[in-house]
Amino acid sequence: MRFDYFAPCTLGLEEALVTELNQLGAGAVEARRGGAAFKGDRAMGYRANMWLRTAIRVQRFIKRGPASSPEALYDLVSTINWRQMIHVDQTFAIDPSVRDSTITHSQYAAQKTKDAIVDMFRKFGPRRPSVDKRDPDIPIKLVIQRNEASLYLNLSGASLHKRGWRPVQVKSPLNEAIAAGLLILTEWDRRTPLCDPMCGSGTFLVEAAHMALDRAPGLNRKFAFERMRDFEADTWKAIRDEAEGRVKKSLSFPIMGADRHSGALKIAQDSVDNAGVSGVVDLICREVDHYRPPTKPGFVITNPPYGERLGEGEDLTESWVSLGKFLKQCSGATAWVLSGNKELPQKLFLKSSRRIPVHNGPLDCRLLRYDIH
Ligand SMILES: C[S@@+](CC[C@H](N)C(=O)[O-])C[C@H]1O[C@@H](n2cnc3c(N)ncnc32)[C@H](O)[C@@H]1O
């Protein structure tokens, strides 16, 4: 059986996601704004969850149709055989997004959809599945755009950026899926010594280590599809076994990081330990001006502070000037710097050779490339 899938991602990372899907062997891969559509069998949906580093979710398409009014939405939802997808003892939840449509309230759209599902069960008996917004067995994604509704099964459940290795939810401006997506966009070859001299909680370092070790991002977590009625345990076991078998034990090059903040570095160390990559990631607490990586890095990627908070002006400029000095010592390296501020990169006193626009949460950022001579 062949299904239509859609995987959303952060704006600007669509190309990275398409690269990943093509490598996975997905069919009819097509970039869309904020994601990619693809086709494949049931196993492809499972594999996408296990392997996609850039996606936020993997959704399996159910139905699309007109929804120019709440009644039209109700009628559309009523044409779907929900009893095939949800058991009366299971829970479900609707996650709605509404844009450019007559229906403007996403929660109202979710309520109508829920009513249609529940009413279908009531036609057949007194029992019905209940709603659990926190941890539903069957998470359903509803997208209404220009009066057309699309319904999907969210096969992932919690966002795929939650890999399971982050010890605490840090106030990091960079999530795991964005870090991985940026690494993919840079086309880092996964064998050149990599360094993040302002590593914070270590997101680039862990994601890079997992990529180089060929360790699937989904190895340590649970997915919503495991609770779905059509779950094929044998298919999933084969995909897990294959992913476990692929993990390399070590790397022939180092992944190195530093940060001046001991608290951030402690979180980075815990992340590295939890992620099972302490043998391949080298961390040290240092000001970037004093940092001398143990091996000369051929690839630098970093996310310096760019003033999301007020009152960071002076210190910020100094940090960027120091980073510029550090980079100038890395002759021969390719460096990539993520910035959400137009002026600060000038303080590196280096000329960028490429700029990739990318969203980081609500911030419009640029990933800048510098070829250090
Ligand atoms: C935006 S955060 C990096 C977040 C990181 N990518 C992560 O995954 O958590 C910027 C980091 O730069 C560090 N930093 C700022 N100035 C520095 C300096 N002069 N030397 C070393 N680290 C510095 C801060 O301590 C902070 O952890």
Residue 281's DSSP bridge partners are 255
Task: List ligand 1's pocket residues with C-beta within 6 A.
Answer: 172-174, 198-204, 259-261, 264, 287-288, 303-305, 319, 322
Instruction: Provide the b/e sequence for 149-158 (b: ≥16 CB within 10 Å).
Output: bbbbbbbbbe
Phi and psi angles of residue 359, each rounded to the nearest 5 degrees, phi first: -90, 140
Which atom from ligand 1 is nearest to the alpha carbon of 306? 1
Q: Please indicate, yes or no, if residue 307 is contained in any of the structural domains.
A: yes
Q: Quick one: pLDDT at residue 310?
A: 46
Q: Which residue has the tokens 């961390």?
A: 283
pLDDT at 169 over 90: no
Polymer length in residues for the chain = 373
Q: pLDDT tens for residues 246-290?
A: 999 999 999 999 999 999 999 999 999 999 999 999 999 999 999
133 and 63 in a single domain? The answer is: yes
Q: Please indicate, yes or no, if residue 167 is contained in any of the structural domains.
A: no
- Asked if 113 contacts 96 with a C-beta cutoff of 8 angstroms, the reply is yes
337 and 196 in a single domain? The answer is: yes
Which atom from ligand 1 is nearest to the alpha carbon of 200? 27
Q: How far is the CA of 172 from the centre of ligand 1 (A)?
A: 10
Which atom from ligand 1 is nearest to the alpha carbon of 308? 1
Nearest-angstrom CA–CA distance, 294 and 292: 6
Alpha carbon nearest to ligand 1 atom 1, residue: 305
Cα 321 to chain center, whole Å? 31
For residue 306, give the CATH number of its domain.
3.40.50.150
Q: How far is the CA of 312 from the centre of ligand 1 (A)?
A: 13
Q: How far is the CA of 52 from the centre of ligand 1 (A)?
A: 27
Encoded amino acid at 177, one letter: A
pLDDT at 191 over 80: yes
89 and 209 in a single domain? The answer is: no
Q: pLDDT tens for residues 98-136?
A: 999 999 999 999 999 999 999 999 999 999 999 999 999
Q: Which of 103, 119, 154 is the last residue of a domain?
A: 154
Encoded amino acid at 299, one letter: F
Extract long-range pairs of 22-29: CB within 8 Å, 24+ residues apart: 24/48, 24/51, 24/52, 27/2
178 contacts: CB under 8 Å, gap ≥ 6: 10, 13, 161, 358, 360
Q: Which of 154, 188, 203 is the last residue of a domain?
A: 154
For residue 73, give the CATH number of its domain.
3.30.2130.30
Q: What is the tally of structural domains in the chain?
A: 2
Mean model confidence pLDDT for the chain:
96
Q: How far is the CA of 39 from the centre of ligand 1 (A)?
A: 40
Q: Which domain holds residue 263?
A: 176-217+248-371
331 and 209 in a single domain? The answer is: yes
277 and 312 in a single domain? The answer is: yes
Q: Quick one: pLDDT at residue 167?
A: 83
Q: Please indicate, yes or no, if residue 226 is contained in any of the structural domains.
A: no
